Amino acid sequence: MATYRFMRLQFLPVVLLATFSIAPAQTVTDATHSAIAATAPDISPVNPDAPSSSLPDAPQAASQPQLPTVTPSGTVTGPVPEHKANASRYHISKWHGVLDPGDKVPHLTTKDKMVFWLHEEINPISILPAAIGAGYSHMIGGDPKYGNDAPAFGERFGAAMLRDASMRFFSDSLVPTIAHEDPRYFRMASGGVKNRALYAAERVFVDRRNSGLRGIDYSDTLGRLGGALLTQAYYPSASINNGVIFRTWGYSMLGGVGDNLLLEFWPDIRDRVFRRHHDQP
Q: How many CB atoms lie within 10 A of CB 258?
A: 14
Assigned domain for 32 exists: no
The sign of the dihedral angle between the CA atoms of 116, 118, 123, 127 is positive
Tell me: the pLDDT tens digits for 99-125? 888 888 888 999 999 999 999 999 888
Question: pLDDT band for position 178 (50/70/90)?
Answer: very high
Q: How far is CA 114 from the centre of its chain?
A: 29
**What was the pLDDT predicted at 119?**
92
The CA-based diameter of the chain, rounded to the nearest angstrom, is 120
Tell me: the pLDDT tens digits for 192-209? 999 999 999 999 999 888
Cβ–Cβ under 8 Å, residues 177 and 150: no
Rounded distance, CA 64 to CA 31, Å? 62
Assigned domain for 2 exists: no
Average pLDDT (243-271) is: 94
Q: How many CB atoms lie within 10 A of CB 220?
A: 28
**What was the pLDDT predicted at 14?**
41
Residues 6+ apart with CB under 8 A from 125: none
Assigned domain for 191 exists: yes
Rounded distance, CA 182 to CA 176, Å? 6
Who wins on pLDDT, 34 or 83?
83
Residue 29 has pLDDT above 50, yes or no: no
Predicted TM-score (pTM) of the model is 0.70
Number of domains in the chain: 1
**What was the pLDDT predicted at 237?**
96
Residue 83 has pLDDT above 90, yes or no: no
Assigned domain for 73 exists: no
Residue 7 has pLDDT above 50, yes or no: no
**Which range (207-211, 231-235, 244-248, 277-281) has the least confidence?**
277-281
Percent of the chain with pLDDT over 90: 50
Residue 176 has pLDDT above 50, yes or no: yes
Tell me: the pLDDT tens digits for 34-48? 544 455 445 445 454
Tell me: the pLDDT tens digits for 146-159? 999 999 999 999 99
Rounded distance, CA 130 to CA 159, Å? 8
Average pLDDT (59-85) is: 65
- Annotate 25-73 with DSSP letters as a single string: HHHHHHHHHHHHHHHS---PPP-TTS--TTSPPPPPPPPPPPPP-B-TT
Cβ–Cβ under 8 Å, residues 145 and 236: yes
Tell me the Ramachandran region of residue 109: left when phi exceeds 0, alpha when psi lies from -120 to 50, beta otherwise: beta
Assigned domain for 133 exists: yes
Average pLDDT (203-217) is: 87
Average pLDDT (242-261) is: 96
Assigned domain for 77 exists: no
Beta strands in the chain (DSSP E): 98-99, 185-186, 206-208, 214-216
Assigned domain for 24 exists: no
**What was the pLDDT predicted at 23?**
39
Assigned domain for 76 exists: no
- What residues make up the domain containing 156? 83-279
Cβ–Cβ under 8 Å, residues 153 and 138: yes
